[in-house]
Amino acid sequence: QPLSPCVTGERLCSTEEATAGSGTYTRHGFIFSSLAGCLEKRNEGSELPVVSVVRDSESQLLPNVGAVVTCKVCSINSRFAKVHILYVGSTPLKSTFRGTIRREDIRATEKDKVEVYKSFRPSDIVLAKVISLGDAQSNYLLSTAENELGVVVARSEAGVQMVPISWCEMQCPRTHTKEFRKVARVQPQFLQT
C-alpha cells in the first residue's frame, strides 16, 4: 500500500490493530511515530501487521531490537557506559543515535561483579546488540553479554591500538601495559576496516 507521511509523535493506530515496529513506540494502548518519515504496514506472518516509520532516504537505517551495532564509547560511570551508535551491521548511519550499556548487560556471567571501567573506556569501539529502545527514543539500550560482543578496538594510554590477549584484557604492543576490557571475540563478518 502507498506510504503515508507522518510526523514525530503522531498517533498511528491502536495496539489492537498492529504491532509496533522500528521508528515507533507504544503508550496507553496506541502506537506513535518516534520520527518523521513514512508510515509502513507489513504483514510478517503474525496475526497483526507490523507498523513502522521509515525515514525517506534511510529506509533501513534504524537500529532495531536484535540488531548488532558498532558504537563508540563517549563516557562511563559506575552504572553504565554511554555510546554513540555508528553502524548497524556493516552500514554506516547518517545520523548519530545514542545508546547505553548498563552494568548488568555487559556480560552474561557474574553480572554482580562487573565493573564498567574494567570493561570499557571512552573512545573504545564496541560491538553490541540492541536490546530495547529505552525511555527516550534517541537512547537505545545495548548489551555486550555474548562472547562475540564487546570491545573490538581500543587504544592504550600511549595512544597505540591494543591487542586482545584474553576475554577480559588487552595489551599495548608498545609499552606492554595490560588494561581490562570486555573483549569481543569478533566474527569475521563484523570486522570494520
- Of 5-14, 41-50, 80-89, 127-136, give the range with the top mean pLDDT: 80-89
Residues 32, 74 within the same domain: no
Q: Is residue 172 part of a domain?
A: no
DSSP assignment letter at 190: G
Q: Picking from 40-49, 53-62, 104-113, 175-184, which range would have the lowest pLDDT averaged per residue?
A: 53-62
User: What's the pLDDT at 190?
Assistant: 47
Tell me, what amino acid is at 124?
D
Give the total number of structural domains in the chain.
2
User: What's the pLDDT at 92?
Assistant: 81
Residues 47, 112 within the same domain: no
pTM: 0.66
> For residue 134, what is the domain's CATH number?
2.40.50.140
Q: Is residue 134 part of a domain?
A: yes
On the question of pLDDT at 135 being above 90, the answer is no
Torsion of CA 23, 79, 73, 26, to 10 degrees: 0
Instruction: Count each helix (H run) and each strand (E run) in the chain, helices first.
Output: 0, 16
SS3 124: coil
Residues 49, 72 within the same domain: no
DSSP assignment letter at 112: G
Residues 94, 42 within the same domain: no
On the question of pLDDT at 136 being above 60, the answer is no
On the question of pLDDT at 81 being above 50, the answer is yes
Residues 9, 83 within the same domain: no
Tens digits of per-residue pLDDT, 10-61? 899 999 999 998 889 999 999 999 887 888 888 866 688 899 888 765 544 6
User: What gap in Å lies between CA 91 and CA 69, rounded to an integer?
Assistant: 9
User: What gap in Å lies between CA 143 and CA 160, rounded to an integer?
Assistant: 26
User: What's the pLDDT at 193?
Assistant: 38
Q: Is residue 192 part of a domain?
A: no
SS3 93: strand
Residues 84, 124 within the same domain: yes
Residues 99, 141 within the same domain: yes
Q: What percent of the chain has pLDDT over 90?
A: 54
Residues 87, 142 within the same domain: yes
Between residues 60 and 165, which one has the greater pLDDT? 165
The chain-wide mean pLDDT, for the chain, equals 86
Residues 71, 145 within the same domain: yes
Residues 75, 46 within the same domain: no
Q: Is residue 22 part of a domain?
A: yes
Residues 75, 134 within the same domain: yes
Mean pLDDT throughout 159-177? 93
Residues 95, 40 within the same domain: no
SS3 192: coil
Mean pLDDT throughout 131-153? 85
Q: Is residue 169 part of a domain?
A: no
Domain housing 33 = 4-54
Q: Is residue 179 part of a domain?
A: no
